[in-house]
Structure 1
Amino acid sequence: MRLLKEEFTQAFELFDKGYLVEAEVLYRECLSKISDTNSDEYLQGLHGLGYVKVALHRFDEARSHYNELIKIALSNEDKVNHCIAIHQLGMVERMAEKFDEALKLFQSEADFLEKYKIESALNWSANFYERGYVNLKMKNLKKAEQLMEESLHYAKKSGDDICIGCAYRGFGEIYQAKGNDVLEKQSFQNAKKAFERASDNLAIKEIDMLLRK
């Protein structure tokens, strides 16, 4: 089991560095070693493989993995993984530019958080961010800004620099769409500082690209 944990870590590091095909192969190898499909290890592997499929824009395969996660979570009455899988499925639809479907899934996630009184600031920040970002893509800038405000509020409450960076990056893109150069640059710079604190090199590179536009 210790070896499997190390392989999962290696697979994530490959993904984080952009070696997507290599990460996919390693995640598949890890999953093939796990006989108990209800185990935390199997769920971790499915989550990881789903991330890789999204990054590779193989959306149908990603949907399949996250729907399997939802099915397992439902059978185990596992509220945490059920919520995460709904969120990830929403991200698949957002990246596939199926924005109406993405919004339905993120609203479903918000309803789930409300219903089961899941008060995680991290979960709420991510949910508001995604709803804000989808509204940005749909050109609903006022709604996007309102939702991103909520995302930043919960991000700061959680103390998680990745969430803080994402919210500020969202604001940067909203202000970019509104043509407000000053607030756009300020937001991207705030995002970069947060990602630097989190040592998220890929996110830092993305912000540098946005700042150069």
Structure 2
Amino acid sequence: MDPLFYQAFLAFDSGRYDEAERFYALALAKYPFSQYEQYKQAAHGLAFTCCFQNKFDQAREIYTNLYRVAQDAHDLQWQAIVLHQQGVVERMAGNFCEAQAMFQKEYEFRVSHLSDDFAGFAANLYEQGHILLKLGDPAQALTIMHRSLDMAQQANDAMCLGCAYRGLGEIYAALDEHDRARTCFSLSGQAFEQAGDQVAAEEVRRFEMALL
């Protein structure tokens, strides 16, 4: 791994976003489009870091460029990833309707080109369910989040399972169905532990304890 990426990852993981941005920007300047794998990693890392600093216009520009590069490379997987991340940008910016439209675009792209990517569908449906909850439609959010769980189970992906169960827990909590919410948070914590994400596991345990 290029030391720039390693330093950027460590800085991001520690919440030092200014430092992470600097390292990712250096990496992006180092790797042109022709060095596709490194360019993707640098662009994605920089754009995502910008989101955590509320630099949403910069993130949008980087992801737009990355999408064009992925199209030129006929890289369907990364086209879907970038569509997903463009939805994440709008969600983090608080533009929930725009985010939902982007996640729907990603979903349709996956149906057409990546129909067997169950983990990708699980992540997409999680975001759609999460946004529906934010938009005040917990009933529809519940339906979508159950679909996310189904896809996560088909993928047998612990991280996706953790997210889907956490999403269900949040929806059930909003519906005042606290027993179901606690069960989902418990299952989410177990899945996150299996995935090795102790931070997420502890977070859902706090959610669970708050409902006691």
Aligned to 2:32, the other structure's residue is in SS state coil
Note the 1:124-143 alignment, pairs <5 A.
124-143=121-140
Which of 32, 37, 41 does residue 40 from structure 1 map onto?
A: 37
- Structure 1 position 11, deviation (Å): 2.1
Deviations 1:23-48 (A, max 9, x none): 22211122222134551110111111
Of 188, 191, 196, which aligns to 1:191? 188
Give structure 1 stretches of 5+ with no counterpart.
Answer: none
2:11/2:20 contact within 8 Å kept? yes
Q: Give the TM-score normalised by the residue count of structure 1.
A: 0.91
Give the corresponding residue for 1:146. 143
SS at match of 2:104: helix
Q: Is the 8 A contact 1:37 1:43 kept in 2?
A: no
Which residue of the other structure, out of 89, 99, 102, is the alignment partner of 1:102? 99
Q: 2:118 aligns with which of 113, 116, 121?
A: 121
The code of the aligned residue for 2:94 comes to E
Native 8 Å contact 2:77 2:114 kept in 1: no
When structure 1 is superposed on structure 2, of 108-117 and 166-175 the one drifting more is 108-117
SS of structure 1 residue aligned to 2:74: coil
CA contact (8 A) 1:87 1:127 kept: yes
Aligned-pair distance for 1:121? Answer: 0.7
- Structure 1 stretch displaced more, 14-23 or 183-192: 14-23
**Does 1:12 pair with 2:33?**
no
What residue is the counterpart of 1:57 in the other structure? 54
Distance 1:208 1:19, change over 3 A: farther
Q: Which amino acid aligns with 1:204?
A: A
Question: What is the RMSD of the two structures over their aligned residues, measured on CA atoms?
Answer: 1.7
Q: Which amino acid counterpart does residue 155 of structure 2 have in structure 1?
A: S
Which residue of the partner structure matches residue 31 of structure 1? 28
Does the CA-based 8 Å contact 2:33-2:69 persist in structure 1?
no
Q: Counterpart amino acid of 2:165? A: Y
Of residues 69, 73, 78, the one that matches 1:72 is 69
Shift in Å at residue 117 of structure 1? 4.3
Change (3 A) 1:128 1:31: same
CA distance in 2, matches of 1:84, 1:117: 11
Shift of 1:102: 0.9
Letter in 1 for 2:112: K
Query: What is the distance in 1 between the residues matched to 2:181 and 2:112?
Result: 36
